[in-house]
Amino acid sequence: MRQNGVMMKEIEGLEVVVASGGLLAEEGVKTDLSVLKPIGREALIIGISSLILPLMIGIAIVQVFIGELTGEKEGLEKILYPAIFIQSVSPFPVIALFLKDLKIINSELGRLAVSSAVCSEMLNISMVCIIKMFKSFMDLRQSAAGIIQNVGLTIGLVLIIVVIVRPTALWMIRQTPEGRPVRDSYIYSIILVVLLAGSFTQWIGHTPILGAILTGFAIPDGPPLASALSDKLDSFVSGLFLPIFITLIALRVNLLSINLRSPFAVSTIIMVLATFSAKVFACMIPAWICRVPFKDALALGFIMSSKGIVQMSLYSMFRDEQIFNEEIFALLVISTAVLAIVVPILVKQTYVPSKRYTGYQKRSIVDSENDEELRMVMCIHRPGNIPAFINLLDVSCPSRESTIAVFVLHLIELEGRAAPLLITHHLQQKNDNTYSQDVIFAFRKHVRQYHGTIWAQAFTAISPRKLMHEDICNLALKKVAALIVIPFHCKWAIDGSIEMEDFSLRSLNCKIFDAAPCSVGILIDRGRNQVQQASTTQLSSQRVAVIFFGGRDDREALAFAIRMVGKLSTHLTVARFTTTVGGAYSDKEEILDSDALDDIKRIGRDSVPYVEQAVKDGPETALIVHDMVDEFDLIIVGRHKNVSFPQISGLEEWSEFPELGVIGDFLSSSDHKGRASVLVVQQQRHKIR
């Protein structure tokens, strides 16, 4: 029976090592250590204080308070000091997974938490190595030769990872053709190296987790190698070993061993509460001093205090080493489970990401002066989007009196890395990013042709598809943009049929419409010859039409079109559809519409043809609009979703893409074989604070 118990203990210990080490290796692979280069002062201060301050307060409480309270000071120090250290750490994998589950990992607060966690993790690993070496020097049972050998082996492992493993991983990437999968032999060899590194660090007296995570750091993040390795490890570790590991932890908890009157239980509960409170304040106060809003700073404190798989694995390892008894182990596991339930609720109550998109000022084209700089965020998903966006810049007709500032955001789906990344290209003297080179080159080359009337800045955002709207809205908020332009989710073939539909992109567009801090335009590229026009010269003639029914979205579309008036390269036509069956909406809206149209009428019909057409219902409107498709290169319409006009009544029943509004959906239908592109505009929705 004793042999069976020892064997079971070894199996459980192996399960702990494989599950936790595998998870940390996977997260190490996903970790981009380059985020440490431009790390902010706030993240550095928060990362250091989140580890040091709870550690100091926990030790002080044990020294001053708990020993006097229980009379068990010497016995408790040996047990509580490791527990205090575990409670004080903020492991990067735990923080990254926590933020990913809450879907705020690429929010501004999420990025600050990720950077702070990386700093804390680096400090934590350094402290563990130093403490281990110090204990080796202080251990009188070890000879000087043994100590030197231990230190030398540790340094040798780091050198092997840096000199051999890292260059080998880079060689594997170079050997993988672009767009092709990584060879299985490469992936399995890296997994073998991870297991060997973990076994080696355990043999020399360190935790096997250290070898796994250091090897993970050596693998370049992102596709193709890290993403392929992450897929393999995710199914192996998260799908198999992690559930077994959590089950084993739960089975090892003995609730009958807990005696709330014992000095060990009282001390553990006090220590957990004290370190949790200290960690919250250690993160909140520096963030608040650095001008982070109070509620956001409090939410950051809760995020950095979250506990997870890393703490569980350390509890289990210390229990196997008989540092923790069954009572303390059970209390620590229960406290971690309680925090896993409570902390997400506290974060959701204190931090609402959508609130920060409510601006302090109006950010729309209508509220901008015609001679004021137009600031636009253009979102690129694939190289095929570039010609249509460049063509839209040409149509916008920038001039010395009416300049345009373009913030080009190349969006890339997050693969093979744990944390999202936002790259500002104009700040980099050397561009190592290969993902956005085509986008950057195309826009920079085109902007030079305008001799200062267009100012461009390029960004690359690498984030999960479900959270890309956070990057877009954040950039628009920071750059005080008046318009976000996003591509439609469908791609048309040369014959006018739909070649490809990206439904995740459609979901993203809907989120942007709901959350944007400014006006939004969705560009439907239907022109078969737009590529040739965009690649020649900005002086090629463009025929643009505005379809006007009324409402704030149509006024926003008209305001964008008015900026094109008087430019030789664009011929603008305004078509207003009126109703023959009575007023469509309030008198106030009609007055605002009349004021907006007066600007066009004052220009004169010779410069801007203005046409009014009275219709009674949607089918009559559809016939007229259908004839306009082949007459223009670009048609600008308002979205006016959930707004009912007699002029479009009856068309809602045939709507295929409701997010475009009735007319936008009608113009994007595959039934139309025309080449006219469509820009569907929505005016700023969020109320002004």
Average pLDDT score over residue span 661-686: 80
Residues 269 and 230 in one domain: yes
The rounded distance, in Å, linking the Cα atoms of 303 and 524 is 40
Could you give the dihedral angle defined by the CA atoms of residues 245, 250, 254 and 259, in that order, rounded to the nearest 10 degrees? 120
pLDDT of residue 3: 44
Residues 549 and 629 in one domain: yes
The rounded distance, in Å, linking the Cα atoms of 279 and 303 is 10
- At residue 105, the 3 state secondary structure works out as coil
Contact 111, 423 (CB under 8 A): no
Which range, of 316-320, 367-371, 482-486, 519-523, averages the lowest pLDDT? 367-371
Residues 252 and 323 in one domain: yes
pLDDT tens for residues 94-134? 888 888 888 887 777 888 888 888 888 788 777 776 766 66
The rounded distance, in Å, linking the Cα atoms of 487 and 396 is 17
**What are the tokens at 548?**
């006007």
**What are the tokens at 465?**
């598809």
Residues 378 and 344 in one domain: no
Strand 454-463 to 421-424 pairing: antiparallel
Beta bridge partners of 575: 547, 611
Residues 531 and 581 in one domain: yes
Count other Cβ atoms within 10 Å, centred on residue 672. Answer: 17
Residues 6+ apart with CB under 8 A from 521: 483, 484, 485, 486, 560, 679, 680, 681, 682
pLDDT tens for residues 608-660? 788 888 887 777 888 888 877 778 888 899 888 767 777 777 777 777 888 88
Residue 616 phi, psi (nearest 5): -105, -25
Residues 290 and 340 in one domain: yes
Residues 315 and 457 in one domain: no
pLDDT of residue 485: 93
**What are the tokens at 145?**
């030769």
Contact 131, 373 (CB under 8 A): no
Element (DSSP H or E) covering residue 413? strand 404-413
* Entry pTM: 0.67
- Where residue 584 falls (left for φ over 0; alpha for ψ -120 to 50; beta otherwise) is alpha
72 or 206: which leads in pLDDT: 206
The answer to whether position 198 is within a domain reads no
> Which residue, 351, 383, 401, sits at the end of a domain?
351
The answer to whether position 321 is within a domain reads yes
The rounded distance, in Å, linking the Cα atoms of 408 and 386 is 10
pLDDT tens for residues 492-506? 766 666 777 788 888
Please give the angle made by the CA atoms of 616, 621 and 627, to the nearest 5 degrees: 145
**What are the tokens at 297?**
């700073």
- CA diameter of the chain: 100
AA identity, residue 120: S
Contact 570, 395 (CB under 8 A): yes
- At residue 173, the 3 state secondary structure works out as helix
**What are the tokens at 659?**
């997010």
Instruction: List, in sequence order, the alpha helices (H) in 222-262.
Output: 225-233, 242-252
Residues 249 and 386 in one domain: no
Contact 72, 263 (CB under 8 A): yes
Which range, of 147-156, 193-202, 369-378, averages the lowest pLDDT? 147-156
- At residue 316, the 3 state secondary structure works out as helix
What CATH code is carried by the domain that includes residue 423?
3.40.50.620
pLDDT of residue 486: 92
The answer to whether position 263 is within a domain reads yes
pLDDT surpasses 90 at 215:
no
Burial grade of 501 (CB within 10 A; 0-12, 13-18, 19 or more): exposed
202 or 664: which leads in pLDDT: 664
Count other Cβ atoms within 10 Å, centred on residue 644. Answer: 12
CA distances from residue 654 to 109, 159, 273, 404, 649 in whole angstroms, order as listed = 42, 66, 59, 37, 11
Residues 454 and 579 in one domain: yes
Residues 332 and 226 in one domain: yes
**What are the tokens at 487?**
């591509």
The answer to whether position 160 is within a domain reads no
The rounded distance, in Å, linking the Cα atoms of 611 and 574 is 6
The answer to whether position 138 is within a domain reads no
pLDDT surpasses 90 at 665:
no
Burial grade of 435 (CB within 10 A; 0-12, 13-18, 19 or more): middle
> Which residue, 351, 386, 415, sits at the end of a domain?
351
Q: What is the DSSP string of 575-644?
A: EEEEESSS--S-HHHHHHHHHHHHHHHHH-TTTS-EEEEEESSHHHHHHHHHHHGGG-SEEEEE--TT--
Contact 197, 141 (CB under 8 A): no
pLDDT tens for residues 441-490? 888 887 787 777 888 888 888 888 888 888 888 888 888 888 999 998 88
Comparing C-alpha atoms, which of 359, 343, 365, 299 is closest to residue 107?
299
The answer to whether position 6 is within a domain reads no
Domain containing residue 539: 374-429+436-682
**What are the tokens at 424?**
């500002």
Residues 6+ apart with CB under 8 A from 479: 375, 377, 405, 407
Checking 210-213 for CB contacts under 8 A at 24+ apart, the result is 210/125, 210/128, 210/129, 211/21, 211/157, 212/21, 212/22, 212/24, 212/25, 212/28, 213/21, 213/24, 213/25, 213/27, 213/28, 213/125
433 or 413: which leads in pLDDT: 413
AA identity, residue 511: K
Summary mean pLDDT of the chain: 76
Which range, of 69-73, 135-139, 214-218, 490-494, averages the lowest pLDDT? 69-73
The answer to whether position 633 is within a domain reads yes
Element (DSSP H or E) covering residue 410? strand 404-413
First-residue to last-residue Cα distance in the chain? 71
**What are the tokens at 89?**
């750490």
The rounded distance, in Å, linking the Cα atoms of 578 and 257 is 80
pLDDT of residue 2: 40
| Sign of the alpha-carbon dihedral angle for 218, 124, 314, 146 | positive
pLDDT of residue 429: 45
AA identity, residue 206: H
263 or 132: which leads in pLDDT: 263
| Sign of the alpha-carbon dihedral angle for 224, 229, 230, 236 | positive
> Which residue, 320, 336, 351, sits at the end of a domain?
351
State the pLDDT confidence band at 378, using cuts at 50, 70 and 90.
very high
Count other Cβ atoms within 10 Å, centred on residue 290. Answer: 15
The answer to whether position 648 is within a domain reads yes
The rounded distance, in Å, linking the Cα atoms of 332 and 340 is 12
Residues 336 and 389 in one domain: no
Beta bridge partners of 411: 461
Structural domain count, the chain: 2
Contact 473, 512 (CB under 8 A): yes
pLDDT surpasses 50 at 5:
no
38 or 226: which leads in pLDDT: 226
The rounded distance, in Å, linking the Cα atoms of 521 and 519 is 7
Q: What DSSP designation does 163 have? A: I
HSE at residue 386, side-chain half, CA atoms within 13 A, is 18
The rounded distance, in Å, linking the Cα atoms of 18 and 626 is 64
Contact 412, 461 (CB under 8 A): yes
Residues 379 and 345 in one domain: no
**What are the tokens at 90?**
């903020």
